[in-house]
Structure 1
Amino acid sequence: MAMAMAKVDCVPLLALILFFIPISQSQARSISNSILSSAHPAPRSFAVNTTTLNHQNARCSFNVDIRTSCSSTSTTRDQISLSFGDAYGNQVYAPRLDDPYSRTFERCSTDTFQIWGPCTYQICYVYVYRRGYDGWIPYDITINGQGHSTRPVTFYYNVRVPRDMWYGFDYCNRAAKTYAKWGWNLVSAFASTLYSIAGLEPH
């Protein structure tokens, strides 16, 4: 016995997809544009991946703006290194960004670096390593990558980075949970609408 199949109009489905795309994009922007919490020491398990310094692994460039706080020293001789990455193990490592002869990291100034490294998804952590006695204070760090669906993200410090430790932010777990939540909501709403258009009741 043949069963009658419900006819589904493609036009409402296309309209539904186009409706949800800007919603998902706006939610992605809301969790990726800025990180507003207190910096903290990196966990003991954190380690920099020095293999990223190999030019063969440096396939993507990142523009990094580091703004020095107006509460910092006028100049600094501190040695500053940077590490950042995504939730999938892709890490970029930039040792020794400091250069006192070019007046890098002066008080109330912004320094821009082009850093090469492996391509990443959305950047969700950053750590700064400071070695020295001047007590350099970053105000914020903005990272703009060219990886997969990445957006500029700003991490707000405005505190003195402790000496001889990696110090910063890690929001990868929070970002992953947020993406999973709105992704599941999107799928559920989409499925419910499909049932409604097909004239069926979800089980």
Structure 2
Amino acid sequence: MRKALALFALISTIIISSSDARSSIIQKPKPSPNFKINNTTNHTNAQTCSFSVKITTSCSSVSYTRDEISISFGDAYGNQVYAPRIDDPSSRAFERCSSDTYEIYGPCTYEICYLDVYRSGYDGWKLEKVDIYAYNTRRTDSFYFNVWIPANVWYGIDDCYYYRSSAAAQK
């Protein structure tokens, strides 16, 4: 009986450890030095879609920021939504422990797999997470940051390799 219990405990530990290893594979935010705004998706024939973007500022951020904040997100197929200067210091956006929701319009996308943020200024800002609800897909994509966003560089999460490899495997 003891051997069976010991074996069960060992197998349980292995399963728990392997599930922890899988969760640590989740992409962490990092600088995106090669990031470029894709103006080709903004042509007049492109279908326009609405996105609700909820940005949550960390409780360990500065009390508020006057920094300029821009955001861009998209799919693995080159469809990109870009929103310059979503900040508005007079509206008290991006205060510590708060969430701000924006209605952003851009080209329709498939599943959103990357998100980049740009911050310019001297106050600093710690982004907790971004939730994007795309009305054409009826789902929410969440990007977890929990980091101080560096100044003057696009900074983000890119999980598109998963979608690109899945699409290549289907061909």
Short-chain TM bin? 0.7 to 0.9
1:56 and 1:162 map into 2 onto residues whose CA distance is: 36
Could you state the TM-score of these two structures normalised by the residue count of structure 1? 0.65
Aligned residues of 2:55 and 2:101 also touching (Cα < 8 A): yes
Measured after TM superposition, the shift of residue 173 of structure 1 is 1.2
How many residues matched? Answer: 147
Over aligned residues, Cα RMSD in angstroms? 2.4
Q: Deviations over 1:148-190 (max 9, x none)?
A: x463111001101110000001111123334666x69xxxxxx
| Residues 1-203 of structure 1: pairs in structure 2 closer than 5 A | 36-44=26-34, 46-50=35-39, 57=46, 59-147=48-136, 149=137, 151-178=139-166
Q: More strand per residue: 1 or 2?
A: 2
Deviation at 1:146, TM superposition (A): 2.5
- SS of alignment partner, residue 164 of structure 1: coil
> Quick check: which one's helix share is greater?
1
Point out the structure with max Rg over C-alpha.
Answer: 1
Note if contact 2:27-2:158 (Cα within 8 Å) is conserved in structure 1. no
C-alpha change, 1:53 and 1:113, in structure 2 (3 Å) is: farther
2:108 partner amino acid: C
Q: Percent identity?
A: 54
Query: Is contact 2:50–2:134 with CA below 8 Å preserved after alignment?
Result: yes
Gaps of 5+ in 2: 1-24
Q: Report the AA paired with residue 41 of structure 1.
A: P
Structure 1: state its 5+ residue gaps. 1-34, 185-203
How far off is 1:110 after superposition? Answer: 0.3
> Is contact 2:62-2:125 (8 Å) kept?
yes
8 Å contact kept, 1:53–1:93: no
Quote the Cα distance in structure 1 between the aligned partners of 2:42 and 2:94. 23
Give the ranges of 4+ consecutive aligned residues of structure 1 lying more than 3 Å apart after TM superposition.
Answer: 50-58, 178-181
Which amino acid counterpart does residue 118 of structure 1 have in structure 2?
P
Whether contact under 8 Å (2:112, 2:141) holds in the other structure is: yes
